[in-house]
Amino acid sequence: MNITLANEKDVEWLNEVIRIEFPYTEFNEKKITEKINNPNFCILVARQGNIQTGFCETELFTQKQEARLNAIFVEDAWRDQGIGKTLIEYTINQCKHKRIQKIFLLVKKENVGAKTLYKKTNFDFIKMHDKKIDDSDIEVWEQKI
């Protein structure tokens, strides 16, 4: 496995994954290209050879020394092999380099798989979010780094 920042060749794949996995977000290839080139975003892609196996997107709020992990995804065929965990470890390292002190995220209450991954990477449940997303109750998790 190899993890690097997303580049323009990843845009088509990212757009397809986001369309299917995160339909409540409004994205297109142009917006993803802008994000890849925006220093306030960190999009890491896990690869096996030429194949993209997963990604993790984080938004940096450098003045507040905080970051929000916006999305993490691993292709079905590649799950349960530690890719999600490694993507989060790389994300934490990137954030440390940018002097971020806290990473937070929103997760659907029923997303037990993602919550297990977050627990195993040292995130803690903080509180319920004040709004529903996609008709689901949402939890706020965070970790100090």
Ligand X SMILES: CC(C)(COP(=O)(O)OP(=O)(O)OC[C@H]1O[C@@H](n2cnc3c(N)ncnc32)[C@H](O)[C@@H]1OP(=O)(O)O)[C@@H](O)C(=O)NCCC(=O)NCCS
DSSP string across 1-43: -EEEE--GGGHHHHHHHHHHH-TTS---HHHHHHHHT-TTEEE
Q: Which residue is nearest to ligand X (CB)?
A: 113
Q: Determine, following the binding rule CB under 6 A, whether residue 16 of this chain makes contact with ligand X.
A: no
Q: Compute and round to an integer the Cα radius of gyration of the chain.
A: 14
Residue among 11, 72, 95, 103 that touches ligand X (CB under 6 A):
72
Find the shortest distance in angstroms from Cβ 83 to ligand X: 4
Find the shortest distance in angstroms from Cβ 47 to ligand X: 14
Q: Determine, following the binding rule CB under 6 A, whether residue 44 of this chain makes contact with ligand X.
A: no
Q: Determine, following the binding rule CB under 6 A, whether residue 142 of this chain makes contact with ligand X.
A: no
Residue 106 near residue 140, CB atoms below 8 Å = yes
Sort strands 102-108 and 2-5 into parallel, antiparallel or unpaired. unpaired
Find the shortest distance in angstroms from Cβ 123 to ligand X: 11
Q: Determine, following the binding rule CB under 6 A, whether residue 84 of this chain makes contact with ligand X.
A: yes
Measured CA to CA, the distance from residue 124 to residue 136 in angstroms comes to 19
Binding site for ligand X (CB under 6 A): 21, 71-74, 79-85, 107, 111-114, 116-117, 120
